[in-house]
Structure 1
Amino acid sequence: MVYDLIVVGSGSVGAAAGFYATQAGLKVLMIDGAHP
């Protein structure tokens, strides 16, 4: 699969970056290392 943007760390800033990128029509992959 091909992505336009890969966000490493989906805290508040990473989540906002992913949100605005998808609103702009980009395909986004978000990766976070947190454990549940």
Structure 2
Amino acid sequence: MDLFGVFKIGASGLKIQRMRMDLIAANVANMETTRT
């Protein structure tokens, strides 16, 4: 595996983790809201 492939795998892992953190942040931000 070349260096570019290693960077590509690392970048995709970071992207997935960022998506998870965005989802958690949205859930925390909406924790105090109520449905009407």
**TM-score interval for Structure 1 and Structure 2 normalised by the shorter chain:** 0.3 to 0.5
Which structure is larger by alpha-carbon Rg, 1 or 2?
2
Q: Compare relative contact order (CA 8 Å, sep 6+) and give the higher one, 1 or 2.
A: 1
TM-score with structure 1 setting the length: 0.41
* Greater share of helix: 2
